[in-house]
Structure 1
Amino acid sequence: MKSVKNRYAVLFGFGTVLLLLSFLVRTALLIWAFPQSGMHISDLPAIYLKGLVYDIGVALFFTIGYALYLLILPQRLNNTLFNRTFTYTGFFLATMILVFSFFAEFTFWGEYAGRFDFIAVDYLIYTYEVISNINQSYPLPLLIGGVLLFTAFVTWWLSRRGTFRSSFQSNTPFFKRLFTFAVLLGLMLLHIFLVNNTWAEKGKNRYAQELAKAGVYSFVSAYLNNELAYDKYYLMEDEPTAFNRLRNMMQSPDSHYLENGNSIFRSITDTTTRVTPNVIMVTIESFSADFMERFGNTGHITPVLDSIAKQGILFTNMYATGTRTVRGMEALTLAVPPTPGQSIVRRKKNENLYSIGHIFEQAGYESTFFYGGDGYFDNMNKYFGNNGYDITDRLRHKLVDDHITTTRTNIPDSAVQFENAWGVCDEDIYTAAIKSADEKYAAGKPFYDFVMTTSNHRPFTYPAGKIDIPSGTSREGAVKYTDYAIGQFLKKISTKPWYKNTVIIFVADHCASSAGKNEIEISKYHIPAILYNVPNVAPQEINVMCSQIDIYPTLLGMLHWTYNSKLYGRNVLEPGYQPRAMVSTYQKLGYLEPGKLLILSPQQKAECFSWNAAKNEQHAAPMDSALLKNSIATYQTAYSLFRNGGMAK
C-alpha cells in the first residue's frame, strides 16, 4: 500500500517503526523473563497498554523537533536536495540511535533484569570503562555492523514503500501543518504533565513494572531524577519526633549522647583494654552469599572463602544496603542507611564526613583506598581522598583533577600481570596492598586499608592458567578466580611480620544481581561477611539479621574500643540489639525486620509485607505502625543529617 502524500509521512513512518520495534522488544523481554517472573496472563494487558503510552511518548519526544522543521519549511524547498538530504540523514541517525538503544536494552536486561535506570546514566558518563567493557564482553564490530545494516534496511523499506517520496512531493497547506504540529505538541505536553515513570510501578510484580516501561523513556527519567529529596517525596514525621525515636532505637548500655536534639553523636565506651590491630577490608565486587557452599551452592567455586568462614567470624544473615558498588562503599565507610537517589559517594558536599576512616585516624592509623581501576570512575577518588584516605589506583585520566587532599599513588605497568576494562586483576590489587602494608609496618605506622576488587565483573576475564574455568566464559569462573586470588593473598601475607596483628575483613559490596519478581527482592541483598584473624575471638557464626553498616561497630566492640560515633551501625553482639536491615533501590527504601518488610516510596507511599525467608516469599500485610515509624525515623534522619551537615566531622 502506497503512502498518502503528506509532508508528515516520514514522521509518521518513523513513529510506526518505533512502536513496532518497541512492541517486539517488549515481547521478547517478556518471553525471556516470564518463566522466573511470577507473572500471570492477567498482567499482560497492563504491560502492553502502559507500554504503548510510554512508546507514544518516546515517539513524540523523538519527532517534535522534526515536526517544527516541517511546519516552518517553505513549500518551495520541500522537494529540494537540501530537504531530501536533511530528511534522509535525520531519519537514518534517529533510527540508528533507536535500534542501538533496543540492542542495548537486551544486554542491560541480561545484567539487571530491568529497563535503563541510574546505572545506565552513570555508564554514559564513564565512557572509557563502559566502552572497554562492552568491547571485551561482546563482538562490538558485529553489533555495530548489525545496527547499521538493520537501520539501512528500515530506511530502504520505507523508501521502497514511497514514504519519503510522499513527503517530498506533497503540498500540505500551512494551516494543516500548523494543526498537525499543534496536535503533536499538545500530546507531548499532556504526556509530560500526566505521565511519569512511576506510573509503571503501581503493580505488585517488579518484572511487570519493568516490562511496561520504555527503555529510552526510563533513561531520560533517571537522568532528570538523579537525586530525590526525601522531604519532598516521602512520608515524614516532624524532625524532633523522628530524631527522638531514632535516638531511642540506637540507645545501648555502652553509649551516651554527646549532643541533644537532632543528632546521634555519641560516645561508645568499653572498659576492657583496647586491642589495636591493623585492618584490611577486602570489598568483593558483586558477591552474593549464594555463591558460597555454606549458603547452598553446589558448584564448589569458593573453597577458600568456605574454609576461612569456618576459621573466622561469619555473618550469615547480613544484607547489603543497595545494588551498586558506590552504595556499598557508602555503607562500609559511613555506616549510614541509603538515602534516595545517588549514593553519598557520588554527591556534592560529601567531604570531611564522620567516616570509619576518621575513627581509625583518631586512633593514629593511616588509611588507604585501593582500587584496581581508575578511581575517577564513580567519583571514588574525590570521595575517599577528601575523607582522609590516601589513594592507590590505576591512573588513566591523567588530566583529571580530583581535588583530593591526600596522596594518590599509581599502580605502574610493571606491577600489572592482567588488566581489563575495570582495572587490574584481584591478585595485582592485593600485591599493591601488601607492598603498602610492608612500607607502613617498616615505618611503624598502624594501617587501615579499604581494598576494592574488580575481577568479579563482566566481562569476567582474569589471568589464564589460574583456575579450571577459561577466562571470560562465565560468572562462575570470575567467582572462582576471585576466591583463588583471596587464597593467594592470604598465603602471601601469612609470612609477613605484621600478619599476626592484622584483621582481614571479607565483605561484598552488593549481590551479583537484584532481579526478582518483587519490588525489593530481599534474597538479592543477602551477602557474606567474614572477620578473619580477629585477636582473642573464637571462630563463630553470627546469625542475627544485620546490615553492612553494622560491620565496624561490631568489630570495634570485639576490639574493646572506646570512641565517638555518628554511625547508624550497631554492635550486633551487644545486649538489646534489635535485628534489622536497610535494603534499597534508587527510589524504594526498604526497612527489614525478621519476617517483615516495609517499603517507603515516592508520593508519600508506604507498603507493608510479610516475608518468609526460607521460601523467599513476600505477601502484602496490614500496616505495622511501629515498623513504619522505625522506617521513617531511620531514613528521614539520615537524609536530614547529610543535607544539614550533621554527618560531618
Structure 2
Amino acid sequence: MVKISKLIRWIILTGFIFLVLFTCMRLGLFILSNQQSYGLRQLGGAFILGLRYDMRMISILLLVMLILGSIPALHPFSSNRGKKIWMIILGIATVFALFFFSVDFAHYAYLEQRLNASVLNYLEDARISMGMVWQSYPIVRMVLAVILAAVLLIWLIYRSHRMVSKQSYTGTKRNRIISFIATFLIGGFFIYGQFNQYPLRWSDAFSQGSDYKAYLALNPFESFFSTLKFRHSGYDEKKVKELAPVIGRYFNFTPSDNPLHFTRTIEPRAGAFTTKPNVVLVICESFSAYKSSMFGNPLNTTPFFDSLCRQGVLFDHCFTPTYGTARGVWATITGIPDVEPTKTASRNPGAVDQHTIINNFTDYEKFYFLGGSTSWANIRGVLTNNINGLHLYEQENFKAKRLDVWGISDKNLFLEANNVLAQQQKPFFAIIQTADNHRPYSIAEEDLPEFKKREVPADSLRKYGFESLEEMNGFRYTDFSYQKFIEAARKEKYFNNTIFVFIGDHGIPGNADALFPHAWTAQRLTSMHVPLLVYAPGKLAPKRLHTIGSQTDVLPTIAGLCNIKYTNSTLGKDLLDTATTGFAFIIDPDSKMAGVVKGDYFYRKQYEGKKSELVSIVNNDPVPNDAAHAAIAHDMEVFTEALHETAKYMLLNNKKAGK
C-alpha cells in the first residue's frame, strides 16, 4: 500500500464512507417501505444494481478529488490550504447527500416514488408546500438527525485524513502516474456502469420485474438528475398525423383532410332530463378505489358513499391518466391527459389556453369551490382563463375557519358551497374540489363528537391498504363530509334537478393484493384507479358498469346526460354512449412508461427505454406467449403511442374558439 499515493488512499477511504452511507439509506428505505413483504434474497438483484448506481455517483465525486487534488495548491496532504479546502468541499458534499436522502425519504413516503425533478414544481408553490411538509413530517427531528449524521460523517472523513497523513509513501513518480491512471480508469468504469455498448441508465432499474424493485435500486441522485433533461415538452407532428386514423377509429370519427384536426361536434342524445339540469362535479382528493367500501375493502371506510353508489351509476373501472392532483384536475377539465414530463401542464404558459366542454353549458352559472387557494400549481390561471364567467370561491370567501395548510375542512367546504348553490335562480355547473384526504389528515375538532375515530390493528391496516390510523380515519372523514353535503343538498330545491358526479383526482399507490389481481399493485394501477359515480336519484336507474373509463371522459359523459350539443376536441368520450369503446390511457412520467387499459389487459411501455409488458387485470394468470396475445400487445402498443403523441399535441393546440 505504501506505493499508492496518500491522495488515492484517502480517496478510497472517502469513497468507502460514502458507500456505507448510500447502502444504509437503501436498507432504511427497504425496512420502511417493503409493503409487498419481499425477502432480501428476492431483492438481491435490486441491491446489486443499486450498488452500481451508488458507485456511479460516488465515483463522480472521487474523480473530482483525484483531478483537482493532484494540483499542488489543492493537494490535501502537501498543502494546508488544500486540506482545508477539501474538508470544506467534503463537508458540503456530506450535508448535500444527507439532505437529498432526507427529502427522498419524505418524497417516497408521500408518493412511493424516488426523488425526481418534478419535486422542483413544489418550489413554485413554496408556501403551501412548506406548510404541508411542516404539518406532515417531524421536521425538527429530521433536521437534527441530518446534523448529527453530518457531524459523524465529517468526523470520519477527518479521521481518515489524519490516519493517511501519518502513513509513509515510498512510491516513485512512475508509481504515482500509474496509480493515477488506474484510479481514473476504474472511476470512469464505475461512472459508465457496465461492460456494454451503452452506459448504465436509470431505465435499467425497471428491468427488475416490479416498480418497487426499480425504485429500491435507484438512488435519489440518479432519479433526480436523470429527469432534469426531460423537463421540456413537445410533440412529433409527423407521428401525430400518421396515428390520427387510430384515434379516429377509437373515437368514432373520420379524420378530415387535415389530420391534425380532431374537433368534432356532438349532437344531443336523449337524456334523463327534460329541463336544464344543474351539475355538481366533485373532484375527490386521493379517492383510491381499493381503500373504499365499494370495492369490498373489509375496513368499510366509505359506507355512505357506498350507499350513494347503490342508488346511482357507478363506473368501477375508471382511471386517472396519471398521478397527482394538478394533473387530475387538468385531465378532468380539459379532457387531455397531462403528459408533461416533469412540470404539470397547468404550469406551462404554452398550454394555459384550453377549450373546455364546460363552456358549452351556455346560460349556466359556473362555480368552482376550493377550501384553500387556487394559486397552487397555477390552477387559478387554468380555471379563470378558460371557463367563461367563472365564480371562484376560495378560503378567503368562506366564513369557516381554516383547518390546516389546505384551507377549511371538506365538510365546511361542502356546506358553504351548498349555501351558495341554494340561492341560484339559473341552472349552474359547479365544481367542488376536496382536500382533507391528504397529509396531515386533519379532522376538525367540531366534528369529533359526531365523527368517531376507529382503532384498527396495524396488520389489518397494512393488509387493506393503509399506512396508519391517521390515514384511514382521514379517508373515513371524507365519507363523513360527503354525507353532510348530500344531507344538506336534499333539503334544497335544486337537488331534484341536479346531476351529482364524483371522481377521484388520483388513487394512492399501495398493496391491493388482498382485493385485486397482483398487476393492480405491481404495475401501480392502484395509483390511478378511482371511483366515478353519477348520482341523480329518480332520474337514473341504479347500475354498476364495468366500462373502462378515464377522467378525460367526465365532461363528455355529463354533457351527454344533459342532452346538449357540444364541441369535443380532446381525448374524452361519453361513457354512456352505446357506441363507445372503453379504454383508459395511463402515463407515469417518473418511470417514463405509458400504456392503456383495455379489455382484460393493461399494456405499458417505456417511451425512453425498451421495456414493455402485457398483464392481465382480471386474474393472476400469466399472459400466454402466443400469436393471439402478441397481436393484442401490438395493437395496444400502437394505440398507446397514438394516445401519447396526440395528447402531447393537444396540450399545446387545444385552444378556445377564435384562438
Supply the distance in 2 between the matched residues of 1:287 and 1:618 (Cα, whole angstroms). 30
Distance 1:316 1:364, change over 3 A: same
- Could you tell me how far 1:295 is from its partner in structure 2? 0.8
> Match for 2:639 among 630, 642, 649?
630
Kindly provide the amino acid, as one letter, of the partner of residue 223 in structure 2: S
Supply the distance in 2 between the matched residues of 1:8 and 1:40 (Cα, whole angstroms). 34
- 1:453 corresponding residue in structure 2: 434
- 1:402 corresponding residue in structure 2: none
Matched, 1:89 2:70: no
- Could you tell me how far 1:55 is from its partner in structure 2? 0.9
- Could you tell me how far 1:480 is from its partner in structure 2? 0.9
Matches within 5 A, 1:387-398: 387-388=386-387
Matched, 1:547 2:547: no
- Could you tell me how far 1:265 is from its partner in structure 2? 1.0
- Could you tell me how far 1:203 is from its partner in structure 2? 3.4
- 1:397 corresponding residue in structure 2: none
- 1:298 corresponding residue in structure 2: 298
Matched, 1:251 2:252: yes
Q: Please tell me whether the aligned partners of residues 369 and 450 of structure 1 are also in contact (alpha carbons under 8 angstroms).
A: yes
- 1:269 corresponding residue in structure 2: 267
TM-score with structure 2 setting the length? 0.82
- Could you tell me how far 1:187 is from its partner in structure 2? 5.5
Supply the distance in 2 between the matched residues of 1:268 and 1:144 (Cα, whole angstroms). 57
Matches within 5 A, 1:22-33: 22-31=22-31
> Match for 2:411 among 407, 422, 427?
427
- 1:143 corresponding residue in structure 2: 142
> Match for 2:223 among 210, 215, 218?
218
Matched, 1:496 2:496: no
Q: Which blocks of at least 5 consecutive residues in structure 2 are unaligned? A: 456-467, 513-517
Distance 1:614 1:194, change over 3 A: closer
Supply the distance in 2 between the matched residues of 1:58 and 1:288 (Cα, whole angstroms). 36
Distance 1:222 1:247, change over 3 A: same
Supply the distance in 1 between the matched residues of 2:50 and 2:134 (Cα, whole angstroms). 31
> Match for 1:469 among 433, 453, 464?
453
- Could you tell me how far 1:297 is from its partner in structure 2? 1.4
Matched, 1:563 2:540: no
Matches within 5 A, 1:131-530: 131-163=130-162, 166=165, 186=188, 190=192, 194-227=199-232, 229=234, 231=236, 238-251=239-252, 260-270=258-268, 272=270, 275-339=275-339, 341-342=341-342, 343-360=344-361, 363-388=362-387, 410-412=394-396, 415-438=399-422, 441=424, 444-464=425-445, 465=448, 466-469=450-453, 473-513=469-509, 520-530=523-533
Q: SS where residue 310 of structure 2 aligns?
A: helix
Q: Please tell me whether the aligned partners of residues 507 and 527 of structure 2 are also in contact (alpha carbons under 8 angstroms).
A: yes
Q: Please tell me whether the aligned partners of residues 318 and 532 of structure 2 are also in contact (alpha carbons under 8 angstroms).
A: yes
Identity fraction in percent: 20
- 1:109 corresponding residue in structure 2: 108
Matched, 1:21 2:21: yes
Aligned length: 620
Kindly provide the amino acid, as one letter, of the partner of residue 447 in structure 1: F
Supply the distance in 1 between the matched residues of 2:543 and 2:345 (Cα, whole angstroms). 33
- Could you tell me how far 1:162 is from its partner in structure 2? 4.1
Distance 1:22 1:185, change over 3 A: closer
Q: SS where residue 103 of structure 1 aligns?
A: helix
- 2:49 corresponding residue in structure 1: 50
Moved more, 310-319 or 417-426: 417-426
Q: Please tell me whether the aligned partners of residues 121 and 219 of structure 1 are also in contact (alpha carbons under 8 angstroms).
A: no
Q: Write out per-residue CA displacement over residues 116-168 of structure 1, whole angstroms, 9 at most, x where no aligned residue.
A: 23553434554333332232223221221121112112222333344487399
TM-score with structure 1 setting the length? 0.84
Kindly provide the amino acid, as one letter, of the partner of residue 580 in structure 1: F
Kindly provide the amino acid, as one letter, of the partner of residue 351 in structure 1: V
Q: Which blocks of at least 5 consecutive residues in structure 1 are unaligned? A: 391-405
Distance 1:630 1:12, change over 3 A: same
Supply the distance in 2 between the matched residues of 1:152 and 1:474 (Cα, whole angstroms). 34
Q: SS where residue 339 of structure 1 aligns?
A: coil
Q: SS where residue 352 of structure 1 aligns?
A: coil
Q: Please tell me whether the aligned partners of residues 39 and 205 of structure 1 are also in contact (alpha carbons under 8 angstroms).
A: no
- Could you tell me how far 1:481 is from its partner in structure 2? 0.8
Kindly provide the amino acid, as one letter, of the partner of residue 622 in structure 1: A
Kindly provide the amino acid, as one letter, of the partner of residue 21 in structure 1: L
